[in-house]
Amino acid sequence: MKGFSGVELGLDIGSTTVKGVVLDTQNDVLWKEYLRHNGHQAEAVHTLLTAVSKRFAHTPIRIAVTGSGARSLAPVIDADFIQEVNAVTLAVETLYPQAGSVVELGGQDAKVIIWRGGSGESRGATLTYMNDKCAGGTGSTIDKIIGKIGLTHEEAAAVKDLAITPHKISAKCGVFAETDVVGLLKAGVNKEEIFYSLCHAMVNQNLEVLVRGNILRDTVLLLGGPNRFISALPGVWRKNIQAAWEIQGYQPRERSLEKTVIVPDDAEYFAAMGAVFFNRSRPEHKEESHFSFAALTEHIKELSRGGTAVHAGPLISSQEELEEFSRAYTLRDIESPRYQSGERVSVYVGIDGGSTSTKAVLLDQEGTPIYRQYYLSTGNPIDDVSHIFAHIATWEREQEIDLHICSVGVTGYASDIIRAAFEVDVAVVETVAHMKSANKLFGEVDVICDVGGQDIKVLFMKQGRVVDFKLNTQCSAGNGYFLQGMAEQFNIPVEEYADYAFRATDAPEFNYGCAVFLEQDKVNFQQAGWSKEEMMAGLALVLPQNIWNHVVQEPNLEKFGTRFVLQGGTQKNLAALKAQVDYITGQVPQAEVHVHPYADIGGAIGAGLEAIEQGHTTSTFIGLENAASVQYTTTNDTSTVCPLCVNRCRRTFIDITSGGERQVRFISGNLCERGAEEAQKAPTSRERQPEAALNLVEYAARSVFAEYAYTPLPAAGQEHHRSTYYPSDALHDIKEKSKKFIRSSEAAQAKRAAMTVAIPRLLNMYYYTPFFSTYLRALGVGSVVYSDYTSDTLWKAGNKWGAIDPCFPAKVAPAHIYNIITKKKADAILFPILTHLETPLSETLGNTSCAIQMGTPEVVEAVFTRERDFFAEHNVRFWDPVLNMDRPVEIEGALYDYFADLLDISRDENAWAVQQGQQAQQAYLTDLRERFIASMNERIETDRVGVLLIGHPYHNDPGIHHDIPVELAKKGYPVYTIESLPVSEEFLHPLFGTESDPYSIRNIWQRNFNRNTNHKVWAAMVAARHPNLAVVDLSSFKCGHDAPTYSYIDELLDVSKTPHFTFHDIDQNRPGATFRIRIETVDYFLQKYERWLQKEVASQ
């Protein structure tokens, strides 16, 4: 730097903005600028360089650049490039040496930097974490949602830290956060509260995903535009970081959070300043950057002439191809019949209350549409439907007819509130509505792909029922709202999207995936000079890849069948439709691809068809005149907070009136049925409302942690032949041949009696706890306690310890251990490493436990001893013996080797306790199987079905199964576990006969080395032979053992015509709407199956 008399310019060329800062040699800021580039990065850089050149005319300028868009521009402006994490790190170390960690939020990225040695001179190496596949929780999420909320950027920035309990919003994905926001808006929640809740969700998302169980050491710097400009964010960060520190026992140096978690001046410019600092540190650096505006201008022109994107080709190769496609796939309008004046016209009404629009259709008595209404949502479905009925009344007057509404059916997102407000006759789940509509037109189909505004539904049918479906619960990629938003950015009316796309003779190839990253592709392609016509074509072409590769996650479409129906409002966009048809026929050459002629109202038609099928003789509907004049009030304040549990749900009361005296209260925002207790009694439903049936999942989750009877240890010296309690193969290892029972000392016994040992309610402990708890109690351990069941409360209290893992049943383990340490007053925690599990099955390659489950106890131990020994600080010992549970001899020996000194036990005491544990384990299983037999006998006698839930033992955990079995039981179906299936010849022989070994799965699943997955296949084999069993397949997110068996289990149950349904990829988030749809779908088809079963039995 010696001799340099000029100024230094740092540019941070980011995904949404360009930041520039000019520093002198003393690091004083002489100039700065923050500019949104709206996809034109090079032009924005040109603007900033122009301003700097004018401001510092005749002064040498040295340029350093960083950020996602900097590398390609660096040589054009003769600048040095520095990677952005390095730039931020150096800026912090230079300007804030006291900082111990950094959280930076950018437009499309988020970073966490932690100095392992803390702050100061010896801060040591850094840990750096960034988002990769998803832009949820970044500035782009905020940009996308504030418009939906109805706030300007200025209004959002001014929202302060509110003293409220935040509403639930998913920040995993921007568009799914939008969906939650839409729901809150429809419930009447205050806009500022919604935005504040979004800030909370974003902060928690980043703390969970990016911090990864590490401690954010003080001082914590909050950097980036969102942290700088949004008033609410710093306070939310402080609250949540403080909560994490309390959990982790971390003591910051300052008591004041305002001094410990800070937003420094110029927080948005740190990367730009760091680029300058990094450039100075290089041994060889430029004395001056010799950039040319002419060169930059030429570069911008070059970008407009092409780029490096992969060319995807056009949507059409000729005008003739387009005309042929249009003839085959153009949607049709409903043509109303001509009526005589005064004619009485009987109709059925179908309503689809969607997330972004409400649709309604009138069907004649044959189910043919005669009138339709499509209404973009105004934020409240009651208003929407009332407006629709007002339009129907107007149409009735214009037609001069007497409209007689026979029955009304409703489906969709808002069906509950619509049913309550208008006393609709029939509510049908969306999946069934769409299936009925497609089947009416095309017969039995294999796949229905419904692409709507904010959601994508892909339904898979077999034998006339929906067996599975996919919703975009994790990501928004591929929906119509995204295409519409892109069109609006180019000032193209969405109705003209296809016209522009078909004009393109080429198109760039977008990467499928996160919607925010697609926006980044758009920015890059704009910069590379692709026209808006070409980008419209490229976005249409990527749509089917998002649907099938990203949402469905299955590139092999042929496995689903050959008859496809495309529907949903997005199919009205002929460019999107053409891309989908071409993609499907490219993957499945023999495919029949149909487009629903009324693509955007398929759900409404299905609801109307269900109303026709149910054939009500009288309707409960409040009438056209009353429906068009419904009034309501919305209350959402402290008086509506639910007082019934600690969740304190912030409910919304919607009081509805129509026709004078009629009043209905609808309550939303409650997380359980108890929260709706203040609602006025809803109209009596004609549908079956059974009492909750036997739920062996719930029962097993309790009884596995019960106390089981055991025989106490014999007195010292009492004669007991060891063959009565030692495993037979272990006797030759026993040197002491006396029959007298050997006890440990009285001091050792007293020590055990004073102990409390805790077992976490985790993983395979949902199967083996009777063994371990009884083993400990038989040894004289004074008390055996357990962690709480998995819940939001437990997770939130202890999730700051977790290292990220895709498997939530394992990911939640540190929270359980933290719960024990802080709540259970235990002396020790027993969390064994179970390598192999017992099984009655034969001819398997192995009975191994899942590798993640095997490793979880060791991960937990590492987590709690990484920064400091949390166990030692709380005087808790951690026990994790390695055990092979399918070998009784090894169990006895391994437990003695592990606990001989820890518990000061004799070999005889150990063997006796092992035997007591094994008897308790058998008692637990026998109890479950006896209850199954009693229930199944009742099912057989009444020609009804029970649901066999095939999952892993941990799916008995209420926090893992998200009440799926509870909801099934509420529908009146007994729910059974795999463990409740009898393994006796008496039960299995009538099912299998002599055709095959009832304990072998080799003919179905040959790679049978994982015990729990093997048992799922075996349970499916049993269900396939039992007419009174239906199957619900549970599998947690990214379960590598289960995934390969999906198709085998499906094919087995298809052949046997066993009703079966799937809940795959269950994660920590409970997608309530998705689960509701699935449960109602299961219920619909099981009712239908039971009617068929009863007819079959009656005909025999």
pLDDT tens by residue, 993-1046:
877 789 998 888 888 888 999 999 999 999 999 999 999 999 887 788 888 888
Residue linked to tokens 């191809």: 321
DSSP label of 343:
-
DSSP state of 650: B
The secondary structure of 734-749, three-state, reads CCCCCCECCCCCHHHH
Q: Say if 527 falls within a structural domain.
A: yes
Q: What is the pLDDT of residues 194-226, one digit of tens each?
A: 889 888 888 887 887 777 778 888 899 999 888
Higher pLDDT: 641 or 63? It is 63
User: 690 falls in which pLDDT band (50, 70, 90)?
Assistant: low
Report the percent of the chain where pLDDT is more than 70: 87
Q: Could you give the C-alpha distances from 756 to 57, 443, 764, 833, in angstroms and in order?
A: 77, 64, 21, 20
Residue range 367-417, pLDDT digits in tens: 999 999 988 776 678 888 999 999 999 999 999 999 999 999 999 878 888
Structure tokens at 374: 């499509």
Confidence bin at 971 (pLDDT 50/70/90) = very high
Query: What's the alpha-carbon Rg for the chain, to the nearest Å?
Result: 33
- Number of Cβ within 10 Å of residue 818's Cβ equals 24
The answer on pLDDT for 245 being more than 80 is yes
Q: Report CA-CA distances (Å) from 267 to 7, 98, 201, 262.
A: 21, 16, 22, 10
Q: For residue 759, which of 809, 694, 683, 827 has the smallest C-alpha distance?
A: 827
84, 106, 123, 202, 347 from 273: Cα distances, Å:
11, 16, 21, 26, 70
pLDDT over threshold 90, residue 940: yes
**Residue 491: left (phi > 0), alpha (psi -120 to 50), or beta?**
left
Q: Which is it for the CA torsion 613, 614, 617, 618, positive or negative?
A: negative
Q: What is the pLDDT of residue 1042?
A: 84
**What b/e sequence results for 406-434 when a residue is b if at least 16 CB atoms lie within 10 Å of its CB, and e otherwise?**
bbbbbbbbbbbbbbbbbbbbbbbbbbbbb
Handedness of CA 948, 950, 954, 957 (dihedral sign): negative
CA–CA gap between residue 239 and residue 213 (Å, rounded):
17
pLDDT at position 320:
92
Alpha carbons 979 and 700: distance in angstroms, whole number: 9
How far apart are the two ends of the chain, measured CA to CA in Å?
Answer: 97
Type of residue numbered 937: N
Give residue 118's pLDDT.
57
- Digit-coded pLDDT (tens) for 436-479: 999 999 999 999 998 876 678 899 988 888 888 877 654 555 56
Same domain, 741 and 653: no
Segment 680-684 long-range contacts (CB within 8 Å, at least 24 positions apart): 682/420, 683/420, 683/423, 683/620
Tell me the backbone φ, ψ of residue 96, rounded to 5 degrees.
Answer: -135, 70
CA pair distance 99, 97, nearest whole angstrom? 5
* Rounded Cα distance, 103 and 787, in Å: 33
> Do 1016 and 955 meet the contact criterion of CB atoms below 8 Å apart?
no
Residue 408 within a domain = no
Phi then psi dihedrals of residue 654, to 5 deg: -115, 110
Looking at the domain assignment, is residue 384 inside a domain?
A: no
Q: Would you call 588 helix, strand, or coil by DSSP?
A: coil
End position of a domain, from candidates 566, 589, 606: 606
What is the pLDDT confidence band of residue 1089, given thresholds at 50, 70 and 90? very high
**Angstrom distances, CA of residue 598 to CA of 349, 407, 497, 766:** 15, 21, 19, 49
Read off the pLDDT band of 675 (50, 70, 90). Answer: low
pLDDT bin (cut points 50, 70, 90) of residue 495 is confident
Tally the C-alpha atoms within 13 A of residue 149's C-alpha that lie toward its C-beta.
28
What range defines the domain where residue 1019 resides? 925-1099
| 653 and 703 inside one domain | no
Q: What is the CATH number of the domain that holds 972?
A: 3.40.50.11900
Question: End of a domain among 869, 904, 921?
Answer: 921
Q: Is the model's pLDDT at 711 over the cut of 90?
A: yes
Which residues, 6 or more positions from 1063, have their beta carbon under 8 angstroms from its beta carbon? 964, 1032, 1033, 1034, 1035, 1075, 1078
For 549, counting Cβ atoms within 10 Å of its Cβ (0-12 exposed, 13-18 middle, 19+ buried), the class is: middle
Quickly list H helices, 61-190.
Answer: 84-95, 139-149, 153-158, 174-186
Output the CA torsion sign for 522, 524, 526, 529: negative
For Cα atoms 45, 264, 159, give the angle at the middle one, nearest 5 degrees: 90
Q: How does residue 781 score in pLDDT terms, banded at 50, 70 and 90?
A: very high
Task: Give the single-character DSSP code of 546.
Answer: I
Quote the tokens at residue 6.
């000029």
Query: Which pLDDT band, with edges at 50, 70 and 90, does 685 fall under?
Result: very low
* 229 and 288 fall within a common domain: no
Kindly report the average pLDDT of the chain as a whole number: 85
Instruction: Kindly report, residue by residue over 251-299, the tens digit of the pLDDT.
Output: 898 888 999 999 998 999 999 999 999 888 876 666 666 666 677 776 6
Residue 628 lies in a domain: no
- Per the listing, tokens 């309503």 go with 351
Residues 312/511, Cβ–Cβ less than 8 Å: no
Q: What's the average model confidence in pLDDT over 484-495?
A: 81
Q: What is the pLDDT of residue 683?
A: 39
Per-residue pLDDT tens digits for 328-381: 988 888 888 889 999 999 999 999 987 678 899 999 999 999 999 988 776 678
**Strands of the sheet with 1029-1036, listed across from one edge:** 975-977, 946-950, 1029-1036, 1060-1066
Tell me the CATH number at 172: 3.30.420.40
Locate 547 and state its tokens. 């649907």
For the residues 131-143, what does the mean pLDDT come to? Answer: 64
Residue 511: pLDDT over 80: no
Specify whether 771 is located in the same domain as 916. yes
Q: Measuring CA to CA, which residue among 294, 232, 280, 241 is closest to residue 77? A: 294
* Residues 155-165 pLDDT 10s: 888 888 877 77
What is the per-residue pLDDT across 905-922, written as a single tens digit (0 to 9) for each? 999 999 999 999 999 999
Above 70 in pLDDT, residue 678?
Answer: no
pLDDT in tens, 860-872: 998 898 878 999 9
Give residue for tokens 């933290």.
Answer: 818
Q: Are residues 124 and 252 in the same domain?
A: yes
> Tens of pLDDT along 941-961?
999 999 999 999 999 999 999
pLDDT digits (tens, 9 = 90+) for 516-575: 667 767 767 776 778 889 989 998 998 898 888 877 878 789 889 999 999 988 888 899
**Mapping DSSP to helix (H, G, I), strand (E, B) and coil, where does residue 259 land?**
helix
At a CB cut-off of 8 Å and minimum separation 6, what does 888 contact? 727, 914, 918
396 within domain boundaries: no
- Measured distance CA(432)–CA(413) in Å, rounded: 14
As beta bridge partners, residue 29 has 23
Question: Does position 670 have pLDDT exceeding 70, yes or no?
Answer: no
d(CA 1075, CA 1066) in angstroms, rounded, equals: 10
Establish if 422 belongs to a structural domain: no
Would you call 47 exposed, middle or buried from its count of C-beta atoms within 10 A (0-12, 13-18, 19+)? middle
Q: What is the pLDDT of residue 806?
A: 66
Q: Note the helical H segments in 831-906.
A: 851-863, 870-873, 888-902
Nearest Cα neighbor of 421 from 182, 606, 632, 634 is 632
Q: Decide: 274 and 65 in contact? Cβ < 8 Å.
A: no
For the chain, how many structural domains are there in total?
Answer: 6
Residue 352 forms part of a structural domain:
no
Confidence of residue 681 (pLDDT cuts 50, 70, 90): very low
Asked if 907 contacts 896 with a C-beta cutoff of 8 angstroms, the reply is yes
- 86 and 106 inside one domain: no
pLDDT greater than 50 at residue 688: no
Measured CA to CA, the distance from residue 895 to residue 884 in angstroms comes to: 10
Query: Do both 906 and 934 map to the same domain?
Result: no
Residues 589 and 463 placed together within one structural domain of the fold: yes
The pLDDT of residue 893 is 92
Q: 454 with 534, same domain?
A: yes
879, 828 Cβ separation under 8 angstroms: yes
pLDDT of residue 982: 96
Instruction: From 857, 854, 904, 332, select the one nearest 595 (Cα to Cα).
Output: 332
Distance of alpha carbon 431 from alpha carbon 475, whole angstroms: 20
Instruction: Give CA torsion, residues 837, 840, 1063, 958, to 10 deg.
Output: -60
Cβ contacts of residue 607 below 8 Å, gap of 6+? 350, 351, 352, 409, 410, 411, 412, 426, 428, 433
**124 inside domain:** yes
As a whole number of angstroms, the distance between CA 550 and CA 477 comes to 7
Supply the pLDDT for residue 335.
85
- Which of 887, 921, 955 is a domain's end point? 921
Residues 6+ apart with CB under 8 A from 95: 27, 264, 270, 273
pLDDT in tens, 165-194: 788 776 655 556 666 777 777 677 888 888
Question: Distance between CA atoms of 168 and 671, rounded to whole angstroms?
Answer: 10
- What mean pLDDT do residues 23-41 have? 84
**Per mean pLDDT, which of 229-233, 765-769, 1036-1040 is the most reliable?**
765-769
Question: If DSSP codes are grouped into helix, strand and coil, which group holds residue 112?
Answer: strand
Considering the domain architecture, whether residues 456 and 596 belong to the same structural domain is answered as: yes
Q: Do residues 248 and 134 both lie within one domain? A: yes
Confidence band for 724, pLDDT divided at 50, 70 and 90: confident
Q: Are residues 638 and 716 in the same domain?
A: no
